[in-house]
Amino acid sequence: MTRAHLSDRAPAPVHPTEQDEVAAAGSELIGGPAGRRVAHGTGASWWSPVRVVVLLGIGMFVLGMIQKAPCYYGAWFSGQTNQYVHACYSDIPHLFAGRGFADGLVPYFDRIPDSVSGGMTYLEYPVLTGAFMQVAAWLTPGGDLQTREQLYWMVNAGMLMACAAVLIVCTVRTQRHRPWDGLLLALAPALALTATINWDLLAVALTAVAMLMWSRSRPLAAGVLIGLATAAKLYPVLLLGPLLVLCWRAGRLREYGAALGGAAVSWVCVNLPLMLLAPQGWSKFYSFSQERPVDFGSIWLIISQRSGSALDDANVYAMVLMGLGCAGIAVLALWAPRRPRLAQLALLVVALFILTNKVYSPQYVLWLIPLAVLARPRWRDFLIWQACEVVYFIGIWLYLAYTGSGDKHQGLPTEGYQLVILIHLLGTLYLCAMVVRDALKPERDVVRRDGSDDPAGGVLDGAPDVFVRGRRLSQSEHAVPFAEASVHWGTRPPGPRTS
């Protein structure tokens, strides 16, 4: 069966209330599960799924801004403990002055005085994130320092809201026949709580655009976007690993080469000017990442606190575990009965990086949320994981309140914080376990229940395997088309869904 024929018989939009018991139960608040008269968002109404999901996402984003109100109106400026007690901390207003933006210093070029930065000589963020911060500084009106810090956070919040809208639109459109899965992203509590802590949403949005471009069979554009996202945050480069093993298994290495080349060229184009003109400032992000000690949120912090050792070799341990984990993901990609979906492997490799890294800032959850929506769109599992992340979000601020105040009755002690870290780690491992199970048992994968193969896979969607377990298949051994394999798994072949 050709890709054109598969697309001609693409399934109708999936309504979660028809497949997900949690979604069906929750829908009672707005009239119950979707019935046969429901509109499919084909243009009959302005309220298309994309518009509904984006508006709900913006609403949640605004609620997250309101949650920061105690800090906006004083806690950022009245002592560090207050901003932790109210769980409304944000790097943004503090780094406005702390990284020289308030004084008009040029990122990467101008050395930051120790009296301002506390020892950070240059901006410790990748180039595109630094540019984002600088644009926000240019847009910030004048006034006294506190007013400018407040306005700087507000300007950044508006720009990050635009990133959130791009993220939601791209995630919804990546798996076009499942638009309502975007509600998982739009209503994610961790997205609302962490969106304005730092600038991670820029890289997350660029990564979402890259995923959309790949799903539309535009590998070069996807690669360019991955390169740009990596110029904003390091983690998006990890997506090139899953793409490699999946394209190898499907015999689509030419498309992978286009993506890899696009990523390399776009990253170099952004970084090369600063590499040549401001090498010390440009390299600060990479040297800081390497030299940074074991820090909040990591399993290494628990080990360090329990053992009383500084774990100077944490980088080595993390790299070894990351390498072993990536090898395991590659084995999964090659040995699974059917080639796993791109979103599944992308989630696993990014989650592996988070689990093995020597620091876990609360906003890092943003990296995983859109991938989780694409990889495992099940409300129960998503909410279990989100609950663990909300517990961690509250726990880290209470721990900082405990360590930052003289009153040991205020906040969360070390043992409690270690428990919170374990809850975060176990929640992430649970989500990964569900994704691995779906890859090993494709009939359990909710995305494939209607006969779909990999809606986000682009050139991989519906493609037969050419390599399996590292061996090239002969013409007679080529894997059966997905439509036939889906019958074997008990899923429906591609075609219109019946009521």
Determine contact, residues 201/210, Cβ cutoff 8 Å: no
Strand partners, 472: 467
Give the other-Cβ count within 10 Å of 298's Cβ. 23
Question: 264 Cβ partners below 8 Å, 6+ apart?
Answer: 223, 227
Query: Are the CB atoms for 492 and 449 separated by under 8 Å?
Result: yes
Which single residue is written with the structure tokens 């994981």?
385
- List 468's β-bridge partners, or say none: 471
CA distance 16 to 379: 9
In 3-state terms the chain splits into helix, strand, coil percentages (rounded to 5) of 65, 0, 30
HEC-encoded secondary structure of 343-356: HHHHHHHHHHHHHH
For 84, the token pair is 């932790």
Its pTM stands at 0.89
Spatial separation of the C-alpha atoms in residues 195 and 64, rounded to whole Å = 7
CA dihedral defined by 448, 452, 454, 460, rounded to 10 degrees? 140
pLDDT, one tens digit for every residue, the chain (499 residues):
444 444 444 455 665 655 555 545 554 455 556 555 445 544 456 778 999 999 999 999 999 999 999 999 999 998 778 899 999 999 999 999 999 999 999 999 999 998 888 889 999 999 999 999 999 999 999 899 999 999 999 999 999 999 999 999 999 999 988 999 999 999 999 999 999 999 999 999 999 999 999 999 999 999 999 999 999 999 999 999 999 999 999 999 999 999 999 999 999 999 999 999 999 999 999 999 999 999 999 999 999 999 988 888 899 999 999 999 999 999 999 999 999 999 999 999 999 999 999 999 999 999 999 999 999 999 999 999 999 999 999 999 999 999 887 566 778 999 999 999 999 999 999 999 999 999 999 999 999 988 899 999 999 999 999 887 756 665 555 544 454 444 444 444 433 333 2
- CA pair distance 405, 11, nearest whole angstrom: 57
Sequence spans of domains, the chain? 48-489
Strands (DSSP E) found in 127-214 = none
DSSP structural state of residue 34: -
Residue 383 is inside which H or E element, if any? Answer: helix 379-404
Angle at 140 between CA 135 and CA 146, to 5 degrees: 130
Half-sphere exposure of 294 (CA within 13 A, CB side): 20
